[in-house]
Amino acid sequence: MLPKYKLIARQQLDNALSDYAAFKLNSPPVKGWIRAIREALGMSGKQLANRLNVSQPRIPKLERDELSGVVSLNTMRQAAEALDCVFVYAIVPRTTLEEIVRAQARKVAESRTQRVAHTMLLEAQNLSDQEQQASIDAAVDELVREMPKELWETAP
């Protein structure tokens, strides 16, 4: 994908993900979503089992599996439907995608600048702190604009 299209895609996805920002602040119920909603509806485990067409002992296992994180997305979707709910699955960035890309670009730019600065220091041609910061800022802007494949080679 061309860099300008990556920028557009990132902006559009950031905009769409902003609706999910509130989810980052909420923790799942201690009992898990399935059990919390089932109990809030006044529905027994046996009643939920009937709606899912499974045996009653499957419900406590399903609720434990949700808490331990081993329940499948498909099973969560089915349980949500049986509870007359909608299962929502999303990966929500801690900040924005743009900020994540800029932070990674800054790491790469600082790493590159440190290597060059060391060589320049050995040759008594080192930059002032202000010049070095301007160089890093320019490199960050270029990396964000160009989005080279190597951008994500550096570990977080």
Residues 71 and 127 in one domain: no
pLDDT over threshold 80, residue 150: yes
Q: Is 31 helix (H, G, I), strand (E, B) or coil?
A: coil
Residues 78 and 8 in one domain: yes
Own/partner contacts of 65-71, CB < 8 Å, gap of 24 or more, are 66/32, 66/33, 66/34, 66/35, 67/31, 67/32
Residue where one domain finishes, among candidates 25, 58, 82: 82
- Who has greater pLDDT, 51 or 124? 51
Mutual angle of helices 129-146 and 3-17, in 10-degree steps: 90
Q: What element of type H or E holds 108?
A: helix 97-122
pLDDT over threshold 60, residue 123: no
Mean pLDDT of the chain: 88
Residues 17 and 64 in one domain: yes
CATH number for the domain spanning 38: value is: 1.10.260
Residues 101 and 61 in one domain: no
Residues 61 and 14 in one domain: yes
- By percentage, how much of the chain surpasses pLDDT 90? 60
Confidence of residue 119 (pLDDT cuts 50, 70, 90): low
Residues 76 and 121 in one domain: no
- Who has greater pLDDT, 121 or 84? 84
Residues 7 and 76 in one domain: yes
pLDDT over threshold 80, residue 91: yes
pLDDT over threshold 90, residue 3: no
pTM of the model: 0.75
- Angle at alpha carbon of residue 126, lines to 121 and 129, rounded to 5°: 125
What's the pLDDT at 117? 58
Residues 69 and 128 in one domain: no
Residue where one domain finishes, among candidates 51, 82, 113: 82
Residues 67 and 102 in one domain: no
- Tell me if 89 is assigned to some domain: no
Q: Which domain holds residue 131?
A: 97-152
Residues 76 and 101 in one domain: no
